[in-house]
Amino acid sequence: MSTILYDLDLAWRGVRARLVQTLIPLMVVALGVAVAVATLALGDGVRRGIIQASDPFGVLVVGAKGDGQQLVLNSVLLQGLPLGTIPASIYDELTADPRVRLAVPLAKGDNIGGAPVIGTDEAFFQLRPSLNAPLAFRLSAGRLFDADFEAVLGSIAAEGLGLQIGDQFQAQHGFERGIEDDTHDEAYTVVGILHPSGTAYDSAVYVTTHTVWDAHAEEEGGAANPFTITGLGAQTGDPERLTSLLVQPVGFAEANTIWQTFYTRTDAQAAFPGQELGRLFDLFGQVQTLLTAVGWLVLAIALAVVFLSAYGAALHRRRDLAVMRSLGAPRRTVARVLLFEALLVSLGGALLGRLLGYGAALLVGAAVTEGAAIPVPVEVVWSLEPLLWVLPLALGGLGGLIPAWMAYRADVVEGLAG
Amino acid sequence: MNVQLSRITHDYRAPSGEVRRVLDIPAWSLAAGAQVLLRGVSGSGKTTLFNIMAGLLRPTAGTVALGETDLYTLPEATRDRFRAGNIGYVFQNHHLIGELTALENIVMPLAFAAELPRARWKPTALELLAQVGLADFARYRPRQLSTGQRLRVAVARALANRPRLLLADEPTAALDPDSGAAVVALLKSACAERGAVLVVASHDPAWSGEFDHHIDLRGGRLVERTGEENHVYHPV
């Protein structure tokens, strides 16, 4: 045992002594591991983040006809533009429908400092991930709105805008920050601030649907209206329109029948968020497979680099290895020292790769969270950890095998003479 | 421990394919404590003879016995271990491992011989460094040492396992006369203290006066200074 430890000690010194030659294969191994780790951890985090962010929003989304995925992404994750609008009467239909437990109206079209202003009603604040789960959107300060032009702020919106209870602000037309001339005249008053919910809606500002309708009523058809395609009332001249509806049916069977009902209608469609996000995940999966393949490819290149490095070390240290043999080291010792060196390089690469990979995943995850308000929890992918240790080490072992064999077979006298 | 060479021949195949006999020693016996100067010009076969005596190069024919142990009948791994524990070798170019400190270079044969517990390796190596006057240079790497200091580390390394045979191949070749004399004196005293056989190879006639016994190696044959070939050497 002490002999093996001593061999390991010699290998470590060899690695340290040839730092530059060691760093190149180490970095290549680290790069391969980092790509694989970042891809897998980020993919996993984005999946879980989207699931978490979409959790409270019900089983069905009802909105304008078009791409169901766009409808879900806009309604659930606040990503992209809305498809269009639907009559507010559909909301009345659904609230009266015995198959529906909860229907939540969403009317979009304005923003304040980039934070979307969402017209809704008190039903929104009754959303919860499941029947027994706590409410998803709870007040941390103030109260809910009970009059038009009263606003409740999501936690990120409140922090980002620097607004507090009692503060007033003016909203702008459009879904993103625009020019100052697009500002509505009406003053909105902050009456409540929500706890963080871990959803994209933390970056939103909530008002009554009538607030949104009122803010646009006098401008419909006017030249100043900045959202003539997707804006409220743009298609019909009717200001009382909604962007979409979040629907929680009383059961799965009812969810299916509601979906079928809308399937045959021409004024709206229903989409299952789970199904649409599943399609999105499939797309993620393909990208992830591609990136993971790149990681494996880099690891394959690393195998060649580790081999070349170990081969170079065997040639460079031919005399030293011969001296070791002359001092009594058996053949297996010199072979083991070279093999250990290759393994140490791979181990270093595996460690560094993890740091880089998880570091990159955390940075990208934070950027996604910052930009889209979708939480991206980056965690250690335990299911892949054994593979991500075994593979680089196997790679190091494989790369060091031939040089170790060369050292094993080397002639001592020739080595001393060389 | 006696060292006994019997009917040693060693052939070398030249690139032309011609087989050349580089050593031909019918018998050579060295009693314990013998200190011998082996003289010979470059290419006379001194290093080849040392490699054979050290168990590093199997001769074409013949035996090398250290005490009762016939070196080349041992399995290779056993011979390696035997060499680590019984034979010290000071190379012509010192051959210290550059990435190790002076101390670590001396620890190496102790580790390979595995006769001392690990905890004793460093203290023993430090004692040896002190013996060769380099107690303050334990953490120095070979490139930080002078040629003479490197040679002294090499001597300490060769003495690490209290060898019963110490071979020194041209140890003073790169040294000035004073440093060379100090190294030869060190080798002689260390071997005398341990009762080890010392064979120093040198083509420098200056050392003749330092050894009571010297033998020339000419054309692969041992020649006593009287000119009698294949002299069976017995020290007094």
In angstroms, what separates the C-alpha of B104 from chain A's closest C-alpha? 10
CA distance A71 to A49: 19
CA distance A115 to A108: 11
Q: Could you tell me if A247 and A103 are in contact, meaning their C-beta atoms sit under 8 angstroms apart?
A: yes
CA angle B208, B213, B216 (to 5 degrees): 70
Per-residue model confidence (pLDDT) at position A230: 42
Per-residue model confidence (pLDDT) at position B159: 92
**How does residue A73 score in pLDDT terms, banded at 50, 70 and 90?**
confident
* pLDDT of residue B231 exceeding 50: no
Q: Which residues contact A416 (CB under 8 A, 6 or more apart)?
A: A319, A322, A323, A326, B51, B56, B91, B95
Question: pLDDT tens digit string along A111-149?
Answer: 888 899 999 999 999 988 877 888 889 999 999 998 999
Question: pLDDT tens digit string along B15-50?
Answer: 888 888 999 999 999 998 999 999 888 888 889 999
Beta strands in chain B (DSSP E): 3-13, 19-30, 35-39, 61-66, 69-70, 87-90, 165-169, 197-202, 213-218, 221-224
Q: Residue A416 is nearest to which of B84, B95, B104, comparing CB atoms?
A: B95
Domain ranges across chain A: 2-51+280-417, 60-271
A323 touches chain B (CB under 8 A): yes
* pLDDT of residue A179 exceeding 80: no
Judged by phi (left if over 0) then psi (alpha if -120 to 50, else beta), residue A142 lies in left
* pLDDT of residue A69 exceeding 80: yes
Q: Residue A330 is nearest to which of B51, B77, B98, comparing CB atoms?
A: B77
Instruction: State mean pLDDT over B164-191.
Output: 87
B157 touches chain A (CB under 8 A): yes
B91 touches chain A (CB under 8 A): yes
Q: Could you tell me if A21 and A343 are in contact, meaning their C-beta atoms sit under 8 angstroms apart?
A: no
CA distance A293 to A298: 9
Of the candidate ranges A11-20, A367-376, B50-59, B176-185, the one whose mean pLDDT is the lowest: A367-376
Query: Mean pLDDT across chain A, nearest whole number?
Result: 85
CA distance B89 to B52: 12
Contact A327 B57 (CB under 8 A): no
Q: Could you tell me if A33 and A292 are in contact, meaning their C-beta atoms sit under 8 angstroms apart?
A: no
pTM for the full model? Answer: 0.73
Kindly provide the ipTM of the predicted complex, given to two decimals: 0.89
